[in-house]
Structure 1
């Protein structure tokens, strides 16, 4: 699974790392023994969480079924008459073969460096299909954000465990950290335009001001702390409206929350608040120094702070930085549309934005209609309401009787799949359904399909789909 800021959509020079999380599908984590029933125990390696002596957000992993993976076997150790899997030994075996002069160990990851700009982090981990009990309070907090269907998706997809222990825990070399990377990406994609820009501006602040000139060991704040602050501010409804006009206020509120955390020495994990992510690093003299630095920025005020550090000057007019031009006074809906173009293209799939079936393709979109329909909404909402792609049918599976001849013909021509424009498919299904329940409503649907097939010039249907579109029109006419 790709993770990190690159997957989130950032393309910052010297700072958009690409992370990879790797795991074996025949290895699974469970939270209690009753969950064994969902797995084939003689084929899969099962590990049981033992959080009894670990700090919040961390756990020991007890081996229940051995499996055949040699790295799991080599990393086992005996404690209190139970067999556990060591995180440190796992890192040693997993990364020893990869280490070279172009790689470094970075926490639970091994980092590959190519030149000065490209960095890839690889983390071997375990997957868990169940939501952590220690994170159940997060579900109860989700009243206004994220939306219920997003919460359900996140919980349904469980979590992961990466090979790193808590530095002040009793079993640092043996513990595993609970990773919510998959859930966090889902949350970032549910941000609206202004929330995402606020997050991006804070990342620039961290990279170009707070951590500028510091070694990796001296950096107390990370982009993960920044992201956590944005999550908390959004969920706690600190701001009534996230919009471009309030962008600097959004930025300032998040900055003040980070300042408060540094002062208190407490950064609560978004999913498990009992997990203080400052505990092992932001304390003592280092905490005092960081607070003085941030408080100095705070005392100067937002306007002078931004002017002095030139974040606005360097990035508001740069179209490659996710349209941070919306920070300026001449904000227009064009910036949000341009941003959406980048996002939709980034997902590398043949997508067609739809607005009441009247507009498609970002290059030809009616901007007023687009903004009216989905302007200011989250990316996930936009993708549900405004995106479609060709329908792909497996020709070995028959879905609709009217399409069987076309699928059989395609198979004879060695074509494994049939691709149909979603617009053509929609009108076809309307016609077929209305024929059985309301024949009068089938007539305008047929007219819409005829108009689309006869007069569209590649705007709503790809030219390569024209043949199947004509065949479908002929089929429903019969």
Structure 2
């Protein structure tokens, strides 16, 4: 009995530690809700997936998004096709495909509308819908949908950005549950998943992503059946103990197994997901509780080791598909099995060699944590996450967000997250608004009022960047005095306690003492108020934005361009005084810009924000007729601009 009590006590202690390091139930719920709200802003066209969409934010977690192509609808037979179908219908054909894969055929190749008939090809005498051509098309057009995918590359079924931190898969949808997976609905199971979850999953249908079965002679015309929506339903139904075990499996993979170069890429997060789905289905749900987290994790490791040893891992929805078939050589299998056996033997001590959980033994975690400390921990985990969500450039449509806010926002947390997303969307919407080419004062006035109203709503997105967008907009419209008023107010808000959410992810920062103090003072405020008061988000211009000063048009061409908010504020300060012919104030603004560059030193010269600050300083010097200093600024920027991302080279070529 004493042994059981000690074992439960250790599990509870470790559970508390995991909540601090990986995320408490509240944190995970907030992460998921934030992404769900962002998805809502896109109607049924975008689905956040992968670890981050599931509520995790581990080292190396990337953005995974699925976009549903609205031009097509997949059916399993011609008889299912609706007579008034306005989309291009495609029919599944599983006869020559491996389980979990299918070919797609148009009903009548001659009725496929332009330009989508480009994806058709004649294969073995039949018209088929090519996954390879579909994927290639979206690779070439990805930047028009998501500017971050400039120079994107194909990565499996996805289009990825240059450093592979964003994966976007364009998919096709079938509203009905696929026949291949129908046995899953009624197969014997314990208590998980519930009948309600199963019903929701089945009613959501399935997706098809553009990748064939590797090694198949039909690979280029096959499509993989994707259960991403179903998998999110299942993971969202996990107890927090289940979710933490899933996270620990990922940490074992990334930080223990993949330390061995020859094992990288052999296992993936998807396999771990299948493992925990199977175990959850076979286990009574009451066993997944905090005082049992260590035995639950050990059971997961044991199952994974067994699956590797015998090269068998059945797909959760379509068991005929063995995900480990011919995956490992004998030598690799033996090595991987031995590593997993060692992990099992060490238990949670295996994490001593991991980056994320290595400090467990040296930390003390009180089960009855104070409210203040809990608030700090929650914000420290949420601020970087919300910064990532709001930083992603697939901007929502505000009518859909407002509709869902009015009809589906029932808690203070959801209202806060909706308000933040709506504000962010309105700020970016101004940059993307396309107006008809009309002349006349009335049209000009209507456009001005329209953009201004959006920017005012966007003020609530953070403490500084929203204000700067408004100031820049006023400057563009020659309202220099009003712009200076906003800039002055913005600079007053630029204080030491402000937080850059992206720094917490890219530089692994922690809160300073003054930041903790301010957050403690605000502990009774709602999340929306805290975030818009203390966070500063990247200040970015997109091409053709009505808020870009004319002097910077050369710097914002194809891709979004970011500027350091404080430095841009001083540059805009300079521009306003320049047009007001106040040369003394202009000189002070230029001096302040130069001081900020010197304070950065040359350590951060590879950072786009810093390079763009040199460009700002060079433009200011050029306008002040100091051509030699301007030339020097552009030369230094060009030297460190290895990828030619700034306007430095073109400005030098223009012979200052």
If the TM-score is normalised by the length of the shorter chain, which range does it land in? Answer: 0.5 to 0.7
Cα distance 1:106–1:198, how it changes in 2: closer, same or farther (>3 A)?
same
Q: Give the distance between the partners of 2:78 and 2:360, measured in 1 at CA.
A: 53
Identify the match of residue 48 of structure 1 among 91, 106, 114: 91
Q: CA deviation at 1:146?
A: 1.4
Match of 1:378 in 2: none
Question: Which ranges in structure 1 are unaligned for 5 or more consecutive residues?
Answer: 318-324, 354-360, 363-382, 391-457, 463-478
Contact 2:62/2:166, CA 8 A, preserved across alignment: yes
Match of 1:85 in 2: 129
Does residue 177 of the first structure (1) align with residue 224 of the second (2)? Answer: yes
Which deviates the most, 277-286 or 154-163? 277-286
Q: CA deviation at 1:87?
A: 1.3
Contact 1:71/1:94, CA 8 A, preserved across alignment: no
Alignment of 1:26-175 (within 5 A): 26-36=71-81, 38=82, 40-41=84-85, 43-65=86-108, 70=114, 72-98=116-142, 103-113=152-162, 119-141=165-187, 144-175=191-222
Alignment of 1:219-368 (within 5 A): 219-237=265-283, 240-279=286-325, 281-298=327-344, 300-309=345-354, 312-314=357-359, 330-331=366-367
Contact 2:72/2:88, CA 8 A, preserved across alignment: yes
Question: Which ranges in structure 2 are unaligned for 5 or more consecutive residues?
Answer: 1-46, 144-148, 390-400, 420-523, 529-656
Does residue 201 of the first structure (1) align with residue 248 of the second (2)? Answer: yes
Match of 1:21 in 2: 66
Q: CA deviation at 1:12?
A: 1.6
Cα distance 1:175–1:250, how it changes in 2: closer, same or farther (>3 A)?
same
Contact 1:27/1:44, CA 8 A, preserved across alignment: yes
TM-score if structure 2 supplies the norm length?
0.47
Contact 1:85/1:174, CA 8 A, preserved across alignment: yes
Cα distance 1:389–1:21, how it changes in 2: closer, same or farther (>3 A)?
closer
Contact 1:229/1:258, CA 8 A, preserved across alignment: yes
Q: CA deviation at 1:71?
A: 5.8
- Which structure: greater helix fraction? 2
Alignment of 1:3-14 (within 5 A): 3-13=49-59
SS, match of residue 29 in structure 1: strand
Contact 1:30/1:49, CA 8 A, preserved across alignment: yes
Q: Give the distance between the partners of 2:90 and 2:283, measured in 1 at CA.
A: 39
Q: Give the distance between the partners of 1:61 and 1:272, measured in 2 at CA.
A: 19
Q: CA deviation at 1:340?
A: 9.3
Q: CA deviation at 1:312?
A: 3.9
Cα distance 1:315–1:39, how it changes in 2: closer, same or farther (>3 A)?
farther
- Which structure: greater strand fraction? 1
SS, match of residue 173 in structure 1: helix
Contact 1:239/1:250, CA 8 A, preserved across alignment: no
For residues 254-279 of structure 1, what are the alpha-carbon distances to aligned partners after superposition, in whole Å with 9 as ceiling and x for unaligned?
11111111111111111111111122
Q: Give the distance between the partners of 1:278 and 1:259, measured in 2 at CA.
A: 12
Q: CA deviation at 1:282?
A: 3.1
Q: Give the distance between the partners of 1:186 and 1:334, measured in 2 at CA.
A: 33
Q: Give the distance between the partners of 1:306 and 1:182, measured in 2 at CA.
A: 31
SS, match of residue 73 in structure 1: helix
Task: Indicate the RMSD between aligned Cα atoms, in angstroms.
Answer: 3.9
Cα distance 1:331–1:169, how it changes in 2: closer, same or farther (>3 A)?
farther
Q: CA deviation at 1:283?
A: 4.2
TM-score if structure 1 supplies the norm length?
0.63
Alignment of 1:297-446 (within 5 A): 297-298=343-344, 300-309=345-354, 312-314=357-359, 330-331=366-367
Q: CA deviation at 1:181?
A: 0.4
Does residue 191 of the first structure (1) align with residue 265 of the second (2)? Answer: no
Which deviates the most, 268-277 or 289-298? 289-298
Cα distance 1:20–1:303, how it changes in 2: closer, same or farther (>3 A)?
closer
Q: Give the distance between the partners of 1:162 and 1:280, measured in 2 at CA.
A: 23
Alignment of 1:452-467 (within 5 A): none
Q: CA deviation at 1:52?
A: 0.8
For residues 34-90 of structure 1, what are the alpha-carbon distances to aligned partners after superposition, in whole Å with 9 as ceiling and x for unaligned?
211x3524x321111111111100001111145665564222122354311111222
Which deviates the most, 68-77 or 58-67? 68-77
Contact 1:265/1:283, CA 8 A, preserved across alignment: no
Cα distance 1:209–1:459, how it changes in 2: closer, same or farther (>3 A)?
closer
For residues 387-431 of structure 1, what are the alpha-carbon distances to aligned partners after superposition, in whole Å with 9 as ceiling and x for unaligned?
9999xxxxxxxxxxxxxxxxxxxxxxxxxxxxxxxxxxxxxxxxx
Contact 1:125/1:162, CA 8 A, preserved across alignment: yes
Q: CA deviation at 1:201?
A: 1.5
Q: Give the distance between the partners of 1:12 and 1:74, measured in 2 at CA.
A: 40
Cα distance 1:175–1:168, how it changes in 2: closer, same or farther (>3 A)?
same
Cα distance 1:314–1:30, how it changes in 2: closer, same or farther (>3 A)?
farther
Match of 1:357 in 2: none
Contact 1:352/1:388, CA 8 A, preserved across alignment: no
Q: CA deviation at 1:106?
A: 1.4
Cα distance 1:307–1:94, how it changes in 2: closer, same or farther (>3 A)?
closer
Q: CA deviation at 1:149?
A: 1.4
